[in-house]
A and B are shown apart, each in its own frame.
Chain A
Amino acid sequence: MNDSSFEDIETPYTQDVINRRSYRKQLINRKSMPNIAPTAMSTISSDATAVPNQSSDAYWNSDDNFTNASRGQHYNDFKSNQDYFDKVVQKSRDKRSPTKRSNEFAHKFNMTSDMRLQKEHFLKHPTSMMELKSNKRNSSNNMKLKYGSLSSREKLKSSISYVTLKQPRRSSSSVRFKPSVVNLGEMGSNDISPIREADDNELEFDTYDTNDLNDTVLIAKPNRDDNFLNKYAEPQEIGDNIEGEDAEFILNNDVLQPQFLSQSSNFNKKSLSPVNEQYDKFNGITRKRSGPLKGSPVSRIQTIKQTIDSNSPNTANEEEDKSVYYDPASKQWVKYVDNITEGFSDMDINEHRRNSSTNRKDRESYNLKNLKIRSNSRKPTVVNNMVLDEKNQRWVSVSGDDPDPFANVPDFAIQSVIKKNSSPFLRSRSTREDLRTKRVEANQGQRNYHSIGKPLSRSKSQVFESDTRYIIDSHALEKFYHEENKWHKSIGTWFLMGTDDFETMDTNGLDSGIQNNISLTSKDNRDFMYEIRKMVMNSTGQ
């Protein structure tokens, strides 16, 4: 057992136990996570799990912490909330008032239930947003098989209302949405109208590859509202996928069309209060997908027009139009463009894009930060006699006389970054330094010129800008040392006896270091300059 792998632990469980657990698990999760859009935290935790595949076994592994008692408790809770779901189903049915639709729904519900029983071992709990996404993709692929090619993912980002308004070539008969499969309207191809209402019988789940189906879809089936509620996962996805200009989704007036927002919000508020709380949370930031469409296209367009007329403000010009946004909570248009742009006025466009490309959570926090700044700009915050200086982003005293604790600290002088790395072929630098120091110390008594030399005005040099001309890389420096060493080996002996013949003059003004390394020619030692003349004169006999 000690040597058994992680998979080995699962083997004692029979498939039956797994199936039963799977069903319980779904129930538990439906209780604990009632179709609320998964948070980023849940996504992260899911990613961190060591079980990347989607097999049912894998999911159950993570649920071993659940005790039977807790499962029972959750199951009881679920039972107690059955009425709640029934209400939701009932409301959903009421929305689709025709009896036929009720029958269709009942048929579909039964069919789904049957299939659930048959395929129960495939069911699993969507533990993360990532799985939701992948499952959604799988389901989309299945839809693709059924309805032809699907549209691109970008279309999923736009709202249904936007799609319906921007597709005038739909036939009146085709502008019908399958309420329980709301995404179909966005996934359709040009060849086959994606928005046509499919008969419930067409949704032959048996024909699907059930391995690719996810529990979310199947579990959502019995309750149409659940499927609708699943949409609340989409804004999170959109937010996660927003990049660059997609971030403008928040401010895009085209997207902020109010046609069904009020209805959907009403519907949400009436049907599911916990979800509405979550929905309201998002409402202030992003535009939510509207609820299922109803009625004929003509009537729906009229409805849209009426809704727009009743909700949209009388905009005199475009500028004013841009300066408002629709608040679904209050069902009013609110002016806010100044607030929005104010926070970005001083921002670099690249920075703005960079911030926009981050995930939704970061963006929210960023907007909140800007909101704080904006609020400060209007009403300076005073805390303990300190006021926030917006421009410099610092707290300053109200009285204005801030003592600078670093006033007397001089600026750090930029030093050259030249590195003196010694080569292994060379003599050790420390030895050289010691020798040089000893040499200087030995001559200390004789050198009264040491202080005579011009003081170096190095203060200017210390603030020189870092010029690459004056930076020697380590390779070149090693070459310098190498050549110097070579010189020592080759002709160093010519200088062992000293250069007394030549260095006898004019050293009074030299710095100690330089003086030792510069040979000066004395008058007495310019004899060699007459040497050639003597040779020539001697050879010519003069």
Chain B
Amino acid sequence: MIYKKPTQLKTKPNKPEAEYAIYIMSPEHHSTIESFISYPPLLVHSSLSQLRYLILSEGLPVESAKNSKRLRCYVWSILSRTSMDNCTNDYVDLLKLGPPQSPIYDKIKNDTGRTLQTDQSFKQTVSEESLVRCLSCFAWQTQELENRIEVSTYVQGMNILLAPLLYTCPSEPMAFKLFSTLCYSIIPTYITHNLIGVANGAKLLDICLKLIDPKLSKFLSDNLLTAEIYGMASILTLSSCNKPLHQVCKLWDFMFAYGFHMNILFIIGMLVKIRKKIFNADSPMNLLKDLPPFDADEIIRVGVGFLPKIPSRIYTLLVEHLTNPELSIG
């Protein structure tokens, strides 16, 4: 594909080359990705690779402006190959069914009221009703499906998973569509009845932590703090339970591009960033269950930096544990 340089770049005369490069990379000009996705791809596969690289190199804006959110939604849609065609009709059809059966509906209502209540921007953007509607539609849709993987109609944590999508997407049906792709296609093992994917992810977190930071791993294990205790929430919610939300979205940009298996490494990156605090903490668990605010770029950089330390076999397990319910890591 021939990438057309944005017109804004042409209108900058007499710029030295270095300054020109800086101009391209400046965060207030994200027209690169926007322009890139606005052109039809000649080869989808290669265009997707290009888009991934643009996300890695430039990143999407973190502003909460409507256009920025829409661009992020479009990018997530392209990267996850989620077509929004007819999404509104499908959503409304499911919505017509109303609330799901009582136990599911009660669980949903019990959780939605507590979803990211400390995040003011989320509270202002997403209503509880939207969360309830989307989760209810997902429950109905799951009942209709007979997937290879028995996905639960609702498990605790789905509300947090849905939060960044509703926060980002310009409409509920689009968020619901992305959520469906995420649950059915990207992390189906995470939302099974036995949460086998999350359990495997916890085991992999322990393994990877041991490989990456043996000292911290030993400290935590000496304090009987395994990943199943402190890392379940971050694993299940793909780190969306951590704050701030706009940084979560940026983290998700990368994971939509290169895979959500990277979440395990990103969790380790967050732990490594506060390892001194953990060592000095009287009660490390209090620190681990409520991780401090993080910077997505930093975590991505750290997480990607862990990759050389991960053996190929473990990396395959990282990739597989998201979708393979038969995988059992001992």
- Pairing of A with B: yes
Residues of A within 8 A of B (CB): 415-416, 418, 420, 429, 432, 436, 449, 452-454, 456-458, 460-461, 464, 467, 469-470, 472, 477, 479-481, 483-484, 486-488, 490-497, 499, 501-503, 505-506, 508-511, 513-514, 516-521, 523, 526, 528-533, 536-537, 540, 542
Tell me if B117 is interfacial: C-beta within 8 Å of chain A.
no
CA distance A263 to B90 in the complex (A): 84
Known: A416-B98, A520-B184. A540 touches B146 (CB 8 A): no
Q: Kindly state whether residue B10 has any CB partner on chain A within 8 Å.
A: no
- Interface-lining segment among B173-181, B224-232, B270-278: B173-181
In the complex, which of the residues A436, A453, A491, A505 contacts B37, with contact meaning CB atoms closer than 8 Å?
A491
Q: Is the Cβ of A436 less than 8 Å from the Cβ of B86? A: yes
Given contacts A484-B173, A519-B185, are A494 and B141 in contact (CB under 8 A)?
A: no
B89 nearest CB neighbor, chain A only: A432
CB-contact partner of A491 in B74, B87, B132, under 8 A: B74
A480 touches B91 (CB 8 A): yes
- How far, in whole Å, are A501 and B56 apart by their CA atoms in the complex? 22
Tell whether, in the assembled complex, residue A529 and residue B319 are in contact, meaning their CB atoms are under 8 Å apart: yes
A487–B78 CB distance below 8 A? no
Q: How far is the CA of A470 from the CA of B130 in the complex (A)?
A: 9
Interface digits, B208-231 against A, CB 8 Å rule (1 contact, 0 not)?
A: 000000000000000000000000
Residues of chain B within 8 A of A531, CB atoms compared = 49, 52, 258
B133 near A469 with CB under 8 A, answer yes
Chain B min CB distance to A435 (Å): 9
B residues 133-190 touching A (CB-CB < 8 Å):
133, 136, 140-141, 143-149, 170-174, 177, 180-181, 184-186
Q: Roughly how many angstroms separate A526 CA and B49 CA in the complex, as a whole number?
A: 13
Q: Evaluate contact between B84 and A454: CB separation under 8 angstroms.
A: no
Other than the known A415-B96, A420-B92, what 6 A-B pairs have Cβ atoms closer than 8 Å? A453-B146, A481-B88, A484-B87, A514-B141, A514-B145, A517-B87
The chain B residue sitting closest to A415, CB to CB, is B96
Instruction: Please state if A530 and B319 are interface contacts (CB–CB under 8 Å).
Output: yes
Residue from B47, B81, B90, B140 in contact with A499 in the complex, judged by beta carbons closer than 8 Å = B81
Q: Which residues of A contact B86 (CB under 8 A)?
A: 432, 436, 484, 516-517
* B323 CB within 8 Å of chain A: yes
Query: Does B77 have its Cβ within 8 Å of any Cβ on chain A?
Result: yes
* B31 at the binding interface (Cβ < 8 Å): no
Q: In chain B, residues 63-122, which have Cβ atoms closer than 8 Å to a Cβ of chain A?
A: 70, 74, 77-78, 80-93, 95-101
> Contacts A483-B170, A494-B37 hold; do A519 and B80 have CB atoms under 8 A apart?
yes
Q: Which B residues are in CB contact (< 8 Å) with A516?
A: 86
Task: Report how far A486 CA is from B66 CA in the complex, Å.
Answer: 13
Evaluate contact between A461 and B97: CB separation under 8 angstroms: yes
In the complex, the chain B residue whose C-beta lies closest to that of A503 is B81
CB within 8 Å for A494 and B258 given contacts A484-B88, A519-B80 = no
> Which of the residues A472, A523, A528 comes within 8 Å of B95, measured between beta carbons?
A472
Least CB distance, B254 to chain A, in whole angstroms:
9
Residues of A close to B77: CB separation below 8 A: 487, 491
**B308 beta carbon closer than 8 Å to chain A:** yes
- Contact of B262 with A by CB under 8 A: yes
A sample of 10 inter-chain contacts (CB < 8 A) reads A418-B95, A456-B97, A469-B132, A472-B92, A491-B37, A514-B145, A518-B184, A529-B319, A533-B310, A536-B305
On whether the beta carbons of A494 and B98 are closer than 8 Å, the reply is: no
